[in-house]
Structure formats: structure tokens, C-alpha cells
């Protein structure tokens, strides 16, 4: 795993709101990630959120959004192999260095697999969906297959994280709805981010991004993880948090449960390890 970031990479991330790291995983590591993720996705079946099997809210249906990607969340909680992969402090250290924060908690992981002929992923911001609001939230997106212009690679709008508010448009059927909320971005340039399997990107939770349709008969599989700066507080959005946990939270309460959001990197505090 390529984990050493140069100052130039960190600067590029801070300026653009994203960075692509080619050849992030070795061939063996890629095999480990694929095997773990495939096993966990198969175990969850039609349920999108681990621990919520049987809860209709998290049942896959046949909506437009269900055809954007196969989305399976918190696989680390359900599967030992994914837990080994996701609780790796090296991932947390990279997230901390890029965002310039001290400690990193795992907010949630998610497999995002575009099936053959999947719908495009509309332009959106991530952070407004989440249970905390931070300009330093960051995600990793790891290509488990070659991700190409043909099968639905990511696209970014550089620099938008610097000006975004927490207003958003969701991820609907209209690719450009985000630009009704941010009309000042309508003519901004965009950057495609095709990646070989085993490469990855990191992106800020407030940078505008999207992905293409899958115009091929093959799969475009990706494993992602969303990271929360240690010290972040509950903003009132339930998102993927279980009912029983949300019932204990007031707005402004620290999201510091190591069962739900393990501390995976910190220079001094004890970490949760696999
Ligand atoms: O994989 C995709 O289609 C979209 C990914 C994305 O929006 C994310 O990782 O935040
Ligand atoms: Fe996203």
C-alpha cells in the first residue's frame, strides 16, 4: 500500500479538494480487498446497511437511485475480512494528513458497485447527507475494477469545496441539479478521474463530484470509506446511525462511540484496531 504522501500531494488535495493516487494497492492487496468486499456484499444480500437487515428503510428496491449503484454500507461491522482492511491506521493517517486534522474516526464504509448499464451518479456534495458537518470530512474511493470513461469513473469540480455551504441537492435523476443550488459553478471546468483497479482517490466531503453511467456490460466496483475528524459533533441528521444510538444523542453531542465510529488514527489516543 502506497501510504507516504508528499507535500505536493497534500497541497494539491487542499487546493482542488481531491487527489488521485495511482497504484495505491499492490496486486495482492487488491485481491484481499476484492475478496473481502465481495464476501460482505454477498452476505448482506438485498439489505443496504449492515445491522439493519429486515428494516424496510434499508431494503434495495428498483428506484432510479437503486440503479445508480449497488450500495452496501458498514461492511466493516458485518465482516471480519473487511474489518481488517478498514481499521488499518495507515488509511486514517493519510486521511488526517490530507485534511490537516489530528485524529480520524471511521464514519462509515460503503461498497459502491456500478452494475452493467448503471445510471450516472449526479453531481453532489457528500457532507450534507452526514450526521456531522465539517469542512475537513474526507473519503477514500478505491477502484476494485478498472474505472473508465466508459464504465462510470468519477468526475470532480476542482476547488468547489472552498466555497460550498452545507446546502445540497441530494443525488437525483437530474445530473445537474446541484447547479440550481450553486449556479455560480455552472460553467466551472470538470476533471475526469479514470483509475486502474487498485488505484484510489481521496475527496473532500464538500467538493462537487459525480460519476458517469456504466455504458458497458461489465461491473465497475469500488470500495469507499468516509472519515470524520475526531471531535466532530452530531448535527441532527440520522443518516446511517442506528435508532438506538440516535436516541442517546442531542444535537452538539460528540460522535465518539468506538463501536459506531472507531478512532482509527490519532497521534496519542488509543486506537481501535482489527
Ligand atoms: O462511485 C460513485 O458512483 C460515486 C462515488 C461517490 O459519490 C463518493 O464516493 O462519494
Ligand atoms: Fe459522493
User: Which secondary-structure segment (H or E) carries 227?
Assistant: strand 222-229
pLDDT in tens, 112-146: 999 999 999 999 999 999 999 999 999 999 999 99
Is 69 near ligand 1, meaning CB less than 6 Å away? Answer: yes
Measured torsion, CA atoms of residues 130, 193, 111, 172, in degrees rounded to the nearest 10? 50
Residue 60 has a pLDDT of 97
Q: 181: buried, middle or exposed (CB in 10 Å: 19+, 13-18, 0-12)?
A: middle
Place of cell 486506537: 271
Ligand number, closest to the Cα atom of 121: 1
Does 13 map to a domain?
Answer: yes
CA 269 to ligand 2 centroid distance, Å: 29
Does 266 map to a domain?
Answer: no
Q: 28: domain range? A: 7-230
Does 72 map to a domain?
Answer: yes
* Total domain count, the chain: 1
pTM over 0.85: yes
Q: Which of 111, 208, 230, 99 is nearest to 156 (CA)?
A: 208
Does 164 map to a domain?
Answer: yes
Does 246 map to a domain?
Answer: no
CA 210 to ligand 1 centroid distance, Å: 7
Does 265 map to a domain?
Answer: no
pLDDT in tens, 43-55: 999 999 999 999 9
Q: Which atom of ligand 1 is nearest to the CA of 69?
A: 3
CATH number at residue 91: 2.60.120.620
- CA–CA separation, 151 vs 44, rounded Å? 24
CA 270 to ligand 1 centroid distance, Å: 31
Ligand number, closest to the Cα atom of 202: 1
Question: Can you state the percent helix, strand and coil of the chain, rounding each to 5?
Answer: 25, 25, 50
Instruction: Report the SS3 class of residue 8.
Output: helix
- Residue 74 corresponds to which cell in the numbers above? 458498514
- Residue 112 corresponds to which cell in the numbers above? 459502491
Place of cell 445537474: 176
pLDDT in tens, 14-54: 999 999 999 999 999 999 999 999 999 999 999 999 999 99
pLDDT in tens, 160-187: 999 999 999 889 999 999 999 999 999 9
Which residue's alpha carbon is at the smallest distance from atom 2 of ligand 1?
A: 211
Does 214 map to a domain?
Answer: yes
CA 24 to ligand 2 centroid distance, Å: 20
Does 264 map to a domain?
Answer: no
Amino acid at each position: 500500500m502506497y501510504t507516504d504522501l508528499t507535500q505536493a500531494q497534500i497541497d494539491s488535495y487542499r487546493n482542488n479538494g481531491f487527489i488521485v493516487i495511482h497504484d495505491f494497492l499492490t496486486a495482492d492487496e487488491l485481491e484481499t480487498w476484492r475478496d473481502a468486499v465481495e464476501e460482505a456484499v454477498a452476505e448482506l444480500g438485498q439489505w443496504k446497511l449492515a445491522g439493519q437487515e429486515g428494516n424496510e428503510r434499508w431494503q434495495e428496491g428498483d428506484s432510479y437511485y437503486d440503479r445508480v449503484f449497488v450500495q452496501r454500507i458498514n461492511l466493516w461491522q458485518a465482516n471480519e475480512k473487511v474489518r481488517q482492511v478498514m481499521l488499518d491506521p495507515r488509511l486514517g493517517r493519510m486521511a488526517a494528513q490530507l485534511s490537516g486534522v489530528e485524529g480520524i474516526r471511521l464514519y462509515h464504509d460503503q461498497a459502491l458497485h456500478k452494475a452493467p448499464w448503471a445510471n450516472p451518479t449526479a453531481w453532489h456534495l457528500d457532507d450534507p447527507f452526514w450526521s456531522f458537518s465539517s469542512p475537513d470530512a474526507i473519503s477514500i474511493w478505491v477502484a476494485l475494477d478498472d474505472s473508465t470513461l466508459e464504465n462510470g469513473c468519477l468526475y470532480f469540480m476542482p476547488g468547489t469545496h472552498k466555497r460550498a455551504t452545507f446546502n445540497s441537492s441530494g443525488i437525483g435523476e437530474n445530473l445537474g441539479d446541484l447547479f440550481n443550488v450553486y449556479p455560480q459553478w455552472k460553467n466551472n471546468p470538470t476533471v475526469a478521474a479514470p483509475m486502474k483497479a487498485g488505484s484510489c482517490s481521496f475527496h473532500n466531503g464538500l467538493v462537487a463530484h459525480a460519476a458517469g453511467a456504466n455504458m458497458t456490460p461489465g461491473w465497475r466496483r469500488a470500495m469507499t470509506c468516509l472519515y470524520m475528524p475526531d471531535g466532530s459533533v452530531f448535527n441532527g441528521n440520522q443518516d446511517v446511525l442506528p435508532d438506538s444510538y440516535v436516541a442517546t444523542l442531542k444535537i452538539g453531542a460528540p460522535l465518539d462511540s468506538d463501536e459506531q465510529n472507531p478512532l482509527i488514527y490519532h497521534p496519542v489516543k488509543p486506537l481501535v484496531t482489527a
